Structure 1
Amino acid sequence: MSPRALVVTALKAAVSLGLLAIILAGVDIGALWARLDADVALAAAAALVLLQVQAAGAAARWRLVLAVHDRPLPYPAAWRNVLLGLFGNQAMPSTIGGDALRLWNGWRLGLPIGLATRTLVVDRVFSFLGLILLCVAGLPVLAARAEDPLVARGLLILVLGGLACLLVLLALRLLPSGLTGRAAVRPFVALSDSAWRVLGSRRALPPVLGLMLLPHLLDITVVWLYALALGVAAPWWTIALVFPPAILTAAVPVSIAGWGLREGALVLGFSLVGLPGDVALACSLLYGVSAVVTGLIGAAIWTVGDRDGLASLGRARREAATLPTDTEESAD
């Protein structure tokens, strides 16, 4: 790990730990601990099942994106690729994230680097779009309940910022030919073209649109189950109002896997809908732990099909770090 990467990782860890310390300082840890019982264990088991369903849906969505680019991929290979990414994002002590590992594994599966990169990014874009749509749906209610105008403005900025990024991506293909031919711009125009190919596919678009909402609906259900297990009989739609903005906040790349940001955003969201902050914190921590365990399960499943077993994870980390960053697909 380079000195710069170490500094960045240390700063992100400091942000996560600092935010968690601030949140925990205002919570009765004893009362929180007392809430953990058999019901929470059952909710945790259900959460692991739902998060595995989420991974299965993500694999199906990526296969649809690949199919639009005339690159069929067997479902088991796509599923294992997603599981490897989950491990990299949640449980791997490294600056090599899940997307880099998925790109490396896609290259191992015979995909050109450029195509693997573009399809993975486009797949992420559609998942992000689903999150934005859920945030937009709940924004009027949350903004009306927020007494502090800064909270409403913050939510609006997050949503508008996400929408702006998506619109810029889609607009790149409309740039003048004099710009699209430049080496620095071509990869991004190719990415925009890939997104439009999916949008223009009558066969792939409907299931992609459904699968872009599925992971977030499952996330909401996981948090809702934890809230019920902790003794808070909140309606599902109430959690649907507050958890998508928390996940959107956690996507800001200033912490380790969103830890600290997600907890703070969910505590704030719970307060807006009249739910206790300690339950919000417990739900967010339990969700985070479930994601980490899902990543570890994913790593175990991924290594079962690799001849090197667990040693393949170390090789994945080393080889992923050497992949070229250029997204042009000269080999496609």
Structure 2
Amino acid sequence: MKNIIKLLITIIIFYYLFQYIDFNELKNVLAKSHGGTILIALLLQLASTYLAAYRWRAISELLVFKEKLSFYVNSYFKGAFFNQVLPSSIGGDAVRIIDLTRKGYEKKDAFYGVFVDRVVGLVGLLVLNLLASIIFFGTFEKDFSLLVIFISSSGIAGFALLFHLDKITFLSKYKGLDLFYRLARRLNTLYADRTLLYKHISISVGVHLLSVLVLFALADSININMNLQTFLIAVPPVFLLTIIPLSLAGWGIREGAMVGIFMLVGADETKILAMSILYGILLIIASFPGSYQWIKSKKAT
């Protein structure tokens, strides 16, 4: 039922978009895209996934998980495959947790490692967006830029505050609030050396920078002539919105957000929609190595 609702939301959003965009023109834009540039975008996406897997391994090592990098890469690609191709009740994060528990690790520790990886990844996205919005202030209208700066800085401040919640001991006495208390304690234990935290956030910035470059390359493949700084500001908010699990694999939400944000700088709506669709297809193709790992793991059980 949950996936049916997501499918309906996806269809409704695309139906709304196609009311304002010429479908035949969209097909022509997609048909004229440059294959060589799309291949570069695919390689950048694969590199982004690989770097994200490396970050997960670095975090897991702090939890004394002793697996080779290849395990984390294979599991990350498998998780991406579940997210992009197999819309089910088992998401990519759940797949990664299951992979760790099959190695004999405690389910709670496996969940914690994946959760921290997700949070650090999100902080990296906020840092990238904040820096780009400040450095290239004026690329978008002032109100939009200030909104992006406010959201990014608030998210980063909230993450920083989380490290201090273990000092508020009364939180541990209330159900629900005790989760934040315990999380703060574990984070402070995990990142007793703050340089490790900054290192992992820096890796996350690199992961998302590669993803932005993917879209920049796809834009070039369909002759969207916009500078990189525009993408550095516009793309992260789209990624933030697609985190909300309202549609299938972010389809529809991503396209609507892309069109809406890039319209603020006068971009062609049809080309932006084409770029977003190409990106969605590219994510599916880039997740195919995970299908092999999934089939391989099924045969092993």
Tell me the SS of whatever aligns to 1:27.
coil
Residues 1:78 and 2:72 aligned together: yes
Contact conserved, 1:90 with 1:257, CA < 8 A, in 2?
A: yes
- CA contact 2:138–2:145 (8 Å) conserved in 1: yes
Contact 1:80 1:302 in 2 (8 A): no
* Counterparts of 2:154 and 2:194, CA distance in 1: 29
1:192 CA displacement: 2.6
SS at match of 1:308: helix
Map residues 239-258 of structure 1 onto 2, 5 A cutoff. 239-258=231-250
Which residue does the alignment assign to 2:299?
308
Q: Distance in 1 between matches of 2:222 and 2:102?
A: 44
Q: Is residue 94 of structure 2 the alignment partner of residue 100 of structure 1?
A: yes
Which residue in the other structure is 1:318 paired with? none
Structure 2 portions without partners, runs of 5+: none
2: distance between equivalents of 1:145 and 1:93? 35
Cα distance in structure 2, aligned partners of 1:272 and 1:228:
19
Instruction: Using the TM superposition, give the Cα deviation of residue 216 of structure 1 relative to its aligned residue in structure 2, in angstroms.
Output: 1.1
| Aligned positions, number | 300
Indicate how the Cα distance of structure 1 residues 163 and 258 shifts in structure 2: closer, same or farther if over 3 A, else same: farther
Q: For residue 51 of structure 1, what is the amino acid of its counterpart?
A: Q
Structure-1 separation of matches of 2:33 and 2:6? 33
How many angstroms does 1:282 deviate by?
0.9
Letter in 1 for 2:253: L
Alignment correspondent of 2:228: 236
Q: Where in structure 2 are the equivalents of 1:112-127 lying within 5 Å?
A: 112-127=106-121
> What is the one-letter code of the residue matched to 2:269?
G
- Give 1:256's aligned amino acid: L
Distance 1:152 1:208 in 2: 26
Q: How does 1:181-260 map to 2 (within 5 A)?
A: 184-201=176-193, 204-260=196-252
Residues 179-238 of structure 1 show CA distances to partners (whole Å, capped at 9, x for unaligned) of 326675555434333333454336633531221112211111111111111012222222
- For structure 1, the residue ranges without an aligned partner over 5 or more in a row are 1-5, 313-332
Contact 1:142 1:241 in 2 (8 A): no
Please say which of residues 156-165 and 107-116 is displaced more in the overlay. 156-165
Return the TM-score normalized by structure 2.
0.87
Provide Cα deviations, 1:218-270, integer angstroms capped at 9, x if missing partner: 11111111111101222222211211111112222322222211111111221
Q: Does structure 1 conserve the Cα–Cα contact (< 8 Å) formed by 2:139 and 2:230?
A: no
1:63–1:72 contact (8 Å) kept in structure 2: no
Determine the C-alpha separation between the residues in 1 that align with 2:212 and 2:157: 25
User: Within 2, Cα distance between the matches of 1:183 and 1:162?
Assistant: 24
Q: Structure 1 residues 168, 204: CA separation in 2 closer, same or farther (over 3 Å shift)? A: closer
Deviation at 1:172, TM superposition (A): 3.2
Q: CA RMSD, aligned part only?
A: 2.7
- Does the 8 A contact of 1:19 with 1:264 survive in 2? yes
Residue 254 (structure 2) pairs with residue 262 (structure 1): yes
Is 1:45 aligned to 2:43, yes or no? no
